Amino acid sequence: MKILLGVFCILFVGLLFGQRSTYNHCSGAVFAPVEGKFTLSFLGAKKDNQIWVVFIAPKSGEIELEITAIGSSLTVSKGVVIRSNAEICDLTERNNLSLDSISFELRGSENVSFHIEKNQYASLCLTTNSGIKDDIIFNCKFKADNTQEEEHVLNLVYDKTLPTYTLLIRDEQTLTPVAGRIFLQGSAEVSGSYYASKLCMNLKQPIKKGSIKIDAPGYFPVEFKERSIPYNGQKTDTIRLHKFEAGELTKLEQVYFSAGLPEIMEESYGQLNRLRDLLILNPGISIEIHGHVNLDENSAKKAQKLSKQRAMMVKKYLVQNGVAPDRLYPIGFGSTKPVYAKPQDEEQKEANRRVEILIRKN
């Protein structure tokens, strides 16, 4: 049965993980729905004990946000909502006159309303005293200016005489538009982060080894490496996304570990933060975390131990980022379930070294 999701998923030796990976810093902000209810907790940091949440407007409209503090230790916290046309990652950027901000104080409960334009970012930061770990409930409602608009179009075409590239994101089953975050790497004019269900842009040269990453709420993220985009006329790519379903197993594509060790590498934080967002925004689900290693790395006993340790490290990361531990079930399979029983090259060995998640209902 398909899960109904909301509108809106540096290694520090000795101390586990650097704070910049968590949502008490803007780089680890939770990308939240503009419609829905969810809970986040202050993480008790000694410095910059903050909660960062980012909303991206699917359409132009009004966001009505009710913020409620739950707990006896939290008396007051300061809040700010910063509206901008791109992601920001520092409160000092408020000095830029192009940024529009709304400041408030949270004393028990506070209602904050603001208008946001289509494709605009609204970054919310709550700050409180060090050591506090109280819960904050966010209840968000969105009233669109134009309720008839279905396609979330981002048109960056500036010269119709140049070749154009169009990227469409669609639901795998219904083929309806799906708005999500698009990360492109290739030439200078296309590389960047975007939010759309239809992205249109000019090309000045062919792209031979580009990459495309799609992260949409309610769907498994996808990544295409060494993707070529020809330089001729009109080129359209359609990417179909698969919804999360209970009982379904999926690989975490961008989770990496140090060779032969359980430590998670820093480049894995983005993928793990998307998984964190999925769990925070959907409290009715839990996950099994399956660790796998390649057979030639260790004996069967060592392989099972290492795979369990890696699954435990994923759990520990998620718990540090506000996910309840009783929703996470780490399991080590060692090398008993390889993708390739007899790997022939390093690519097949790498496929055997993986972390998978199994979604289940609470």
Kindly give the confidence (pLDDT) of every residue in the chain, 362 residues in length, as a single tens digit, with 9 standing for 90 and above. 333 333 223 222 233 334 457 898 888 899 888 888 999 999 988 888 999 999 988 788 999 999 999 876 666 789 999 998 877 775 444 455 456 889 999 988 999 999 998 888 899 999 998 988 889 999 999 998 876 667 888 999 999 888 899 999 999 888 889 988 898 888 877 888 888 899 999 888 888 888 888 888 778 878 887 788 877 778 899 999 988 777 878 887 778 887 788 888 888 888 888 889 888 888 888 999 999 988 765 588 888 899 999 999 999 999 988 899 999 999 999 888 888 888 888 888 878 888 899 988 77
Please report whether residue 11 resides in a domain.
no
The whole-angstrom separation of Cα 140 and Cα 165 is 35
Amino acid identity for residue 203 in this structure: L
Helix (H, G, I), strand (E, B), or coil: what is residue 319? helix
Same domain for 43 and 127? yes
Structure tokens at 323: 């996910």
The closest alpha carbon to 62, from 8, 7, 120, belongs to: 120
Q: Which domain holds residue 348?
A: 249-361
Cβ pair 308, 331 in contact under 8 A: yes
Same domain for 119 and 207? no
Position 16 scores a pLDDT of: 34
Q: Which of 109, 144, 179 is a domain's end point?
A: 144
Looking up residue 160, the CATH number of its domain turns out to be 2.60.40.1120
Same domain for 81 and 24? yes
- Indicate the Cα dihedral angle 208, 211, 348, 17, nearest 10°: 150
Position 124 scores a pLDDT of: 94
Same domain for 255 and 333? yes
Same domain for 285 and 357? yes
Q: What is the DSSP letter of 219?
A: B
Please report whether residue 1 resides in a domain.
no
Please report whether residue 13 resides in a domain.
no
Same domain for 178 and 138? no
Q: Which of 116, 144, 172 is a domain's end point?
A: 144
Please report whether residue 2 resides in a domain.
no
Helices of type H across the chain: 269-281, 300-320, 346-352
Please report whether residue 349 resides in a domain.
yes
Position 73 scores a pLDDT of: 67
- Indicate the Cα dihedral angle 314, 315, 320, 325, nearest 10°: 170
| Number of helices and strands in the chain (H, E) | 3, 21
What is the C-alpha end-to-end distance of the chain, expressed in Å? Answer: 14
Query: Phi-psi category of 81—alpha, beta or left, where left has phi over 0 and alpha has psi -120 to 50?
Result: beta
Please report whether residue 119 resides in a domain.
yes
Same domain for 137 and 171? no
Report the DSSP beta bridge partners of residue 84. Answer: 121
Please report whether residue 111 resides in a domain.
yes
Cβ pair 261, 302 in contact under 8 A: no
Q: Which of 187, 207, 241 is a domain's end point?
A: 241
Same domain for 175 and 227? yes
Position 74 scores a pLDDT of: 64
- The burial class, CB within 10 Å (0-12 / 13-18 / 19+), for 176 is exposed
Model-level pTM? 0.76
Please report whether residue 221 resides in a domain.
yes
Looking up residue 136, the CATH number of its domain turns out to be 2.60.120.380
Position 9 scores a pLDDT of: 33
Q: Helices 269-281 and 300-320 sit at what angle, rounded to 10 degrees?
A: 60
Same domain for 201 and 276? no
Structure tokens at 313: 């490290």
Query: Phi-psi category of 101—alpha, beta or left, where left has phi over 0 and alpha has psi -120 to 50?
Result: beta
Handedness of CA 212, 22, 262, 295 (dihedral sign): negative
Q: How many domains does the structure of the chain reveal? A: 3
Using DSSP bridges, classify how beta strands 285-292 and 328-332 pair: parallel, antiparallel or unpaired. Answer: parallel
Same domain for 163 and 77? no
Position 148 scores a pLDDT of: 65
Same domain for 180 and 272? no
Looking up residue 342, the CATH number of its domain turns out to be 3.30.1330.60
Same domain for 114 and 170? no
Number of other CB atoms surrounding residue 91 within 10 Å: 16
The closest alpha carbon to 217, from 275, 152, 149, 293, belongs to: 275
